[in-house]
Amino acid sequence: MAEPPRLPAIRLPWENSIIYFITIGVKNRCNVLATPEMFEAIKTTIPQLQKWHVLAGVVMLDHVHWIVLPVENRELSVGDFSHGFKRTLRKQLGAQSWEWQRGCFDRLPRSDDNLWSKWIYVKDNPVRHGLVQNADDWPYYLDFINELPDGGKLSASPTVQGRWSTMRKAGTK
């Protein structure tokens, strides 16, 4: 399987947060991730990724979607997150019969609307795959959006924090 393409270097103004949408897959699409045991291991892994703040994620059967931002170093690559997540989770689990796909897929939302559409994609993924009828019924969903330690902005716009708060409460745009 080919390695996913990397984003070219994109420079955003320093006042803007850098937020990535990342998908990490299991090699050969093995359905091993959406279990209670794996979900607990993933929830234990996330706080150990000290260079990254995870805003939200959905654990699917054979892949995970994350919305993340670097805590301090804007120069960190999505490969740093992907490698750190895979390595830390593997330590939590011990030896497994499956492997991660090499690399990851990533997008850099450049506007509130683009970030919003990625959020909806993440949240509705279990519905699109026919696993549940309502996204809120999926048990393997993580939402840390309103837990930024400094209360900082989540994207290019100063209005995005209000939008995320409203979205979290209402569940709609």
Looking at per-residue confidence, does 158 or 104 come out higher?
Answer: 104
Is residue 6 included in any domain, yes or no? no
- Would the pTM of this model clear 0.85, i.e. be above it? no
Nearest to 76 by CA among 87, 68, 88, 67: 68
Domain range enclosing 68: 20-170
Query: Is pLDDT at 51 greater than 50 in this prediction?
Result: yes
Q: Looking at the 3D structure of the chain, how many domains does it have?
A: 1
Is residue 4 included in any domain, yes or no? no
- CATH code of the domain covering residue 132: 3.30.70.1290
Is residue 3 included in any domain, yes or no? no
d(CA 160, CA 148): 13
Query: Is pLDDT at 50 greater than 80 in this prediction?
Result: yes
What percentage of residues in the chain have a pLDDT greater than 70? 71
Is residue 1 included in any domain, yes or no? no
Is residue 13 included in any domain, yes or no? no
HSE at residue 169, side-chain half, CA atoms within 13 A, is: 6
Tell me the CA end-to-end span of the chain in Å, nearest whole number.
37
Is residue 122 included in any domain, yes or no? yes
Across-strand partners of 100?
A: 26
Are 145 and 164 spatial neighbours (Cβ–Cβ below 8 Å)? yes
Confidence band of 39 (pLDDT split at 50, 70, 90): very high
Helices (H), the chain: 36-45, 78-93, 112-128, 160-170
Please, what sign has the CA dihedral across residues 70, 76, 79, 85?
negative
HSE at residue 171, side-chain half, CA atoms within 13 A, is: 5
Residue 151 class from Cβ within 10 Å (0-12 exposed, 13-18 middle, 19+ buried)?
exposed
Is residue 7 included in any domain, yes or no? no
d(CA 126, CA 11): 33
Is residue 45 included in any domain, yes or no? yes
Are 36 and 59 spatial neighbours (Cβ–Cβ below 8 Å)? no
